[in-house]
Structure 1
Amino acid sequence: MSYQFNYTLPPLNAAAPKIDPNAPTYASEDGPVASLSSQECIFQIRRTGEPHVMTFQVLQAMDQCREFRTLDEHVARIQSTQPALADKRDDVRRVLESLVQRQLLVSDADFVERLAAPAAIAQAPMRAVFIRACDRPQQLVHLLATLADYERRFRAGRRYVLLDDSVLQASINEQRDLLREFARTTGCKVHYIGHAERAKIVEKLVRELPQAKAAIQSLFLRDKNASTQRFGGGRGWNMALLLSAGSRLALLDDDLRLNLKRPPFVRPGLDPNPSAPMEAAFMANMEEALGYGEDVDQDPFALHLDACGQMLGTLVRGAYPLSRQALRGMNLSRLELLSAPSRVVATQLGTYGSARTENGLWLYRLEGRSRDEFWRERASYLRNTEAQHVWFGVAQAQAKEVTGFTPFTFDNSIMLPCTSPVGRGEDSLWSALTRHAHPDAVVLELPEGIGHVQESPRQRANITRGTFVPRVNMFLRDYVQRQFGLYKAADPGQRLGLFADVLRDLAGATGQERIANLREYMGYVRADLIDRMQHQIEAATEAPVYWQADARAIVESNAKALLAKAPPRLSEWPDDIDDTGCADALVGELNGMADALEHWPALWRHAAEQGEKLLGAL
Structure 2
Amino acid sequence: MSTTPEFQISYGNLPNATPSTHASSDAPLYAAIDAMVAPLSSEEYAFIARDSGERHVLSHHVLQSLDQCREFRSIDEHVARVTAVVPGLTQQDRIRKGLEGLASTGLLISDQDYLNRLERSVETEPRSLHAIYIRACDRPEQLQTLLDSLANYERKFRVARPIVLLDDSVEEKNRDRNRDQLREFARAVGNPVSYVGPAERGKLRQRLAKAVPHAATSLEWLLERGPRTRRGGGGRSWNIALLLSAGRMFALLDEDFRFPLHRHADTRPGMDPNPASAASARFYRRLDDALDAGEAEEQDPFEEHLAVCGNRLGATITQADYRIDRESLRGINLGRLEHLRGDSRILYSLNGTCGSSGAESALWLYQLDAESRAEFWADRDAYLRNIEAQSLWYGWLRAKPATQAYFSPFLFDNREMLPCTNPDGRGEDGLASAATQYCHPGSLVMHLPSAIGHAQESSRKRSDVTMAPLTPRFNHFLRDYVSNQVGGAKAHDPRRRMNLLGELTADLAHSDTATMAASLNEYLGFVRADIVERLQNQFELLPDAPVYWQADVRQIVRNNGNALLKQGAPRLADWSEGIDEQGCADAAREELLDMAQAWRDWPAIWDAARGQGERLIGGL
Deviation, 1:608, is 1.1
| Residue aligning to 1:315 | 316
Coordinate RMSD, CA, aligned: 1.6
Aligned residue type for 2:549: W
Gaps of 5+ in 2: 1-10
Distance in 2 (alpha carbons) for counterparts of 1:11 and 1:25 = 18
Matches for 1:139-538 after TM superposition, within 5 Å: 139-225=142-228, 228-318=229-319, 319-538=321-540
- Normalising by structure 1, report the TM-score: 0.96
| Aligned residue among 65, 70, 76 for 1:66 | 70
Aligned residue type for 2:42: S
Alpha-carbon contact 2:419-2:599 (below 8 Å) kept: yes
Distance in 2 (alpha carbons) for counterparts of 1:180 and 1:590 = 40
Q: How many residues align?
A: 609
Alpha-carbon contact 1:123-1:310 (below 8 Å) kept: no
Alpha-carbon contact 2:21-2:76 (below 8 Å) kept: yes
| Residue aligning to 1:36 | 40
Distance in 1 (alpha carbons) for counterparts of 2:179 and 2:475 = 31
> Which deviations, in whole Å up to 9, do the C-alpha atoms of 1:460-509 show, x marking residues without a partner?
01110111101111111101111122222111111111111111111122
Aligned residue type for 2:301: P
Deviation, 1:8, is 6.5
> Which deviations, in whole Å up to 9, do the C-alpha atoms of 1:333-352 show, x marking residues without a partner?
00112245211111100111
Alpha-carbon contact 1:124-1:246 (below 8 Å) kept: no
Distance in 2 (alpha carbons) for counterparts of 1:10 and 1:523 = 31
- 1:337 is paired with a residue whose SS is coil
> Which deviations, in whole Å up to 9, do the C-alpha atoms of 1:174-197 show, x marking residues without a partner?
111010111111111000000000
Distance in 1 (alpha carbons) for counterparts of 2:34 and 2:233 = 43
| Residue aligning to 1:134 | 137
Distance in 2 (alpha carbons) for counterparts of 1:252 and 1:204 = 26
Deviation, 1:125, is 3.0
Alpha-carbon contact 2:403-2:442 (below 8 Å) kept: no
Distance in 1 (alpha carbons) for counterparts of 2:272 and 2:329 = 9
Distance in 1 (alpha carbons) for counterparts of 2:292 and 2:489 = 47
Deviation, 1:6, is 12
Percent identical among aligned pairs is: 47
> Bigger CA drift: 404-413 or 578-587?
578-587
Alpha-carbon contact 2:209-2:219 (below 8 Å) kept: yes
| Residue aligning to 1:596 | 598
Distance in 2 (alpha carbons) for counterparts of 1:487 and 1:166 = 39
> Which deviations, in whole Å up to 9, do the C-alpha atoms of 1:177-222 show, x marking residues without a partner?
0101111111110000000000001001111111111111111011
| Residue aligning to 2:110 | 107
Aligned residue type for 2:92: R
Deviation, 1:25, is 0.6
Matching of residue 46 in structure 1 with residue 53 in structure 2: no
| Residue aligning to 1:559 | 561
Gaps of 5+ in 1: none
Distance in 2 (alpha carbons) for counterparts of 1:43 and 1:616 = 59
Distance in 2 (alpha carbons) for counterparts of 1:445 and 1:83 = 45
Alpha-carbon contact 2:212-2:608 (below 8 Å) kept: no
| Aligned residue among 540, 549, 552 for 1:550 | 552
- 1:100 is paired with a residue whose SS is helix
Distance in 2 (alpha carbons) for counterparts of 1:63 and 1:455 = 54
- Normalising by structure 2, report the TM-score: 0.96
Distance in 2 (alpha carbons) for counterparts of 1:118 and 1:498 = 34
Q: Pick closer, same or farther for the CA change 1:69–1:246 going to 2, 3 Å.
A: same
> Which deviations, in whole Å up to 9, do the C-alpha atoms of 1:424-466 show, x marking residues without a partner?
0111111111111111211110010111000111100111011
| Residue aligning to 1:615 | 617
Q: Pick closer, same or farther for the CA change 1:49–1:604 going to 2, 3 Å.
A: same
